[in-house]
């Protein structure tokens, strides 16, 4: 207000009326702040300005589109005078209005006949004679909102003067400020409303997901890349002891995809209570979806039935990614889709989708969405199906629920799309198959590449702990090995890569007859074998107990030749039947260091 007072003091004394103008400006700002109807506020402001300025007619035009766009227009939102031009649309770059907007400066035409840019109303079919006019841009901080125009002083043969233009410029600035605040408030309210709706939609989606016991044979996980997800999974027990399951991905993003997802999930659960054949169920779901699917949208979906007595699965796949069966020996088998997605053929003349029946005895069947395969590693490379298989292998020793969470945790930082995972693990033939798996894993329990980042070490600890438990070791034994590997990885990150986030560590865990062997390969600069021996205890400083700490928790530490192209190769060995710390109690300094960690 102080700035407006300062500007008004330069207006000619014969028309200054500063107090009246300040009162008008305050009135306009208050009207904009109180009103929820922007058009009503604009109309009120125009009538007050026209009356205060003694103008015969006035018009307020709002800018539609970006002014830098050649197709932008000005639309009349309010008018005063003998001619009603409400709704009139004119080019934003033409005439005096276009010039005022381009310059972002008030234009005064004391005599319209003398200005070459002036376009007479008769040129657009309006019967009104304009002898003098003022056009002021409605703007705030460089943002253009439109123009306000005054036509013909009410005194006969009078012309607008520079003092009139200055007053209108100040009033237009106040109106522009008020419009800016109104729009900001409206946008903020809209953002708040949208956020609440997204949170509500996300809650509804979460409630649609099944509540599965941690020891159930089928486990699922959904991780939206944004607030809401276009993926879903569901698991539904059948009366005869079998279990029906589904996983789907809706094309597109945002609320539209989320709504289609909710409908598909609802249809699966509703029809699935009566229809237990996957191929027939998919056909029923498509028939209903096609009534509401927008053109170009579709749903990829897998529906299956797991029979624990027969150790078998019956699958129907509508255009989704191939299902992955990991057999008891650790080999992978893909089952690709044999039919197009739901909604592509639009009510095709068929009663069912193709079905595929196969045994998963002692193995695990994985369904997933493209969020898993399109997630990015630290270097920007997509995991792909092979990368997903490596993650499954690395977490194979964990229970299904923990396995999926470990995989999702690894993928989380590189997600580009919604992630949904489902695993069906056959347990009826678990014991003989587990023995075969144990022979296979004797060569290698874990093989995974980890980004050389401190935040990834929890994954390393989890993998080492799971490998120890899979080998039959106690929780304490496995925890000690995990601590030793964690310390070794920290040394690689801090001293080898110098905390560079682009490095990587190749983690491999093998089971020998009486021990676990953990191999760490990095691509940092080579160091000598002497560096792994550690300093004598009398030369150690606080925080420098790394290698002694590792040796105290393992039975052997070896610095071996690295593969071609690699930097260093460190191997830690811990015997399965040895007492804690290989029978040697740690020193007081080692115990204190362990407590600190």
pLDDT 10s digits, 140-184: 888 899 999 999 998 878 888 888 888 888 888 877 887 787 778
Mean pLDDT across the chain: 81
Please give the average per-residue pLDDT across 444-461, as a whole number.
Answer: 79
pLDDT score of 179: 79
Please give the average per-residue pLDDT across 468-482, as a whole number.
Answer: 86
- pLDDT for residue 195 is more than 80: no
pLDDT score of 421: 95
Among 273-277, 338-342, 409-413, the range of highest mean pLDDT: 273-277
pLDDT score of 246: 95
Better-predicted residue by pLDDT, 185 or 239: 239
pLDDT score of 183: 79
- pLDDT for residue 187 is more than 90: no
Better-predicted residue by pLDDT, 69 or 45: 69
pLDDT score of 544: 47
Query: pLDDT over 70 for what percent of the chain?
Result: 81
Please give the average per-residue pLDDT across 318-334, as a whole number.
Answer: 90
Cβ atoms 262, 255 nearer than 8 A: no
pLDDT score of 25: 65
Confidence band for 302, pLDDT divided at 50, 70 and 90:
very high
Closest to 333 (Cα-Cα) out of 321, 323, 348 = 323
517/453 Cα distance (integer angstroms): 23
Confidence band for 460, pLDDT divided at 50, 70 and 90:
confident
Please give the average per-residue pLDDT across 486-513, as a whole number.
Answer: 87
Q: What is the layout of strands, in order, in the sheet containing 323-326?
A: 218-223, 419-425, 364-368, 323-326, 332-335
Confidence band for 352, pLDDT divided at 50, 70 and 90:
confident
pLDDT score of 584: 41
pLDDT score of 80: 92
206/221 Cα distance (integer angstroms): 11
213/128 Cα distance (integer angstroms): 79
Please give the average per-residue pLDDT across 489-494, as a whole number.
Answer: 91
Helix, strand counts (H, E) of the chain: 15, 21
Report CA Rg, the chain: 37
pLDDT score of 582: 40
Confidence band for 595, pLDDT divided at 50, 70 and 90:
very low
Q: What is the DSSP letter of 88?
A: -
Cβ atoms 321, 253 nearer than 8 A: no
- pLDDT for residue 29 is more than 70: no
Please give the average per-residue pLDDT across 208-217, as a whole number.
Answer: 84
Confidence band for 327, pLDDT divided at 50, 70 and 90:
confident
Residues near 393 by Cβ (< 8 Å), separated by ≥ 6? 330, 446, 447, 448
Question: pTM of the full predicted structure?
Answer: 0.49
Judged on CB neighbours under 10 Å (0-12, 13-18, 19+), 269 is: middle
pLDDT score of 141: 86
Closest to 282 (Cα-Cα) out of 308, 330, 228, 319 = 319
- pLDDT for residue 274 is more than 90: yes
CB-side neighbour CA atoms (13 Å) of 130: 28
**Domains, the chain, ranges and CATH?**
2-187 (3.30.450.40), 209-440 (3.60.40.10), 442-597 (3.30.565.10)
Among 412-426, 456-470, 502-516, the range of highest mean pLDDT: 412-426
126/309 Cα distance (integer angstroms): 85
């Amino acid at each position: 207000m102080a700035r407006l007072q300062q500007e008004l003091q330069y207006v000619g004394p014969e028309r200054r009326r500063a107090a009246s103008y300040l009162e008008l400006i305050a009135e306009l700002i208050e009207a904009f702040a109180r009103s929820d109807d922007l058009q009503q506020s604009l109309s009120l402001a125009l009538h007050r300005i026209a009356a205060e300025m003694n103008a015969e007619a006035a018009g307020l035009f709002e800018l539609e589109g970006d002014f830098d766009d050649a197709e932008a227009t000005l639309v009349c939102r309010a008018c005063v005078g003998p001619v009603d031009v409400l709704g009139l649309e004119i080019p934003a770059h033409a005439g005096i209005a276009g010039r005022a907007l381009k310059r972002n400066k008030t234009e005064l035409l004391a005599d319209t006949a003398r200005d070459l840019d002036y376009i007479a109303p008769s040129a657009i079919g309006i019967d009104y004679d304009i002898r003098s006019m003022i056009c002021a841009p409605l703007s705030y901080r460089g943002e253009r909102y439109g123009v306000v125009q005054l036509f013909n002083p009410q005194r006969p043969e009078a012309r607008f003067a520079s003092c009139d233009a200055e007053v209108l410029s100040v009033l237009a600035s106040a109106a522009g400020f008020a419009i800016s605040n109104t729009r900001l408030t409206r946008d903020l309210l809209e953002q708040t409303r949208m956020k609440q709706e997204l949170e509500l939609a996300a809650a509804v989606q979460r409630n649609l997901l099944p509540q599965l016991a941690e020891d159930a044979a089928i486990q699922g996980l959904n991780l939206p890349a944004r607030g809401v997800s276009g993926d879903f999974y569901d698991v539904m027990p059948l009366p005869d002891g079998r279990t029906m399951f589904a996983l789907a991905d809706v094309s597109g993003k945002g609320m539209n995809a989320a709504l289609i997802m909710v409908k598909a999930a609802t249809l699966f659960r509703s029809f699935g209570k009566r229809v237990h054949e996957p191929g027939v169920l998919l056909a029923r779901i498509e028939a209903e979806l096609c009534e509401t699917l927008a053109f170009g949208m579709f749903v990829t979906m897998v529906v299956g039935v797991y029979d624990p007595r027969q150790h078998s699965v019956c699958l129907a796949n509508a255009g989704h990614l191939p299902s992955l069966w990991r057999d008891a020996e650790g080999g992978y088998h893909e089952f690709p889709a044999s039919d197009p997605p739901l909604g592509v053929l639009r009510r095709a003349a068929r009663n069912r989708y193709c079905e595929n029946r196969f045994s998963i005895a002692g193995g695990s069947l994985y369904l997933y969405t493209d969020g898993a395969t399109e997630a990015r590693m630290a270097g920007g490379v997509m995991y792909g199906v092979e990368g997903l298989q490596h993650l499954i292998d690395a977490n194979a020793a964990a229970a299904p629920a923990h396995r999926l969470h470990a995989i999702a945790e690894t993928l989380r930082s590189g997600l580009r799309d919604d992630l949904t995972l489902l695993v069906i693990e056959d347990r009826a033939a678990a014991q003989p198959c587990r023995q075969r798996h144990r022979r296979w894993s004797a060569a290698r329990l874990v093989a995974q590449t980890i980004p050389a980042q401190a935040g990834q070490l929890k994954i390393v600890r989890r993998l080492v702990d799971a490998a120890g438990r899979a080998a039959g070791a106690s929780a304490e034994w496995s925890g000690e090995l995990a601590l030793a590997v964690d310390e070794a990885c920290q040394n690689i990150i801090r001293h080898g890569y110098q905390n560079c986030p682009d490095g990587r560590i190749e983690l491999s865990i093998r089971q020998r007859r009486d021990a676990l062997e953990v191999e760490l390969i990095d691509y940092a600069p080579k160091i000598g074998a002497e560096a792994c021996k550690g300093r004598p205890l009398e030369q150690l400083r606080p925080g420098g107990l790394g290698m002694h700490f590792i040796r105290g928790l393992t039975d052997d530490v070896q610095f071996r030749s690295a593969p071609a192209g690699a930097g260093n190769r460190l191997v830690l060995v811990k015997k399965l039947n040895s007492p804690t710390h290989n029978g040697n109690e740690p020193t007081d300094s080692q115990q204190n260091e362990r407590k600190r960690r």
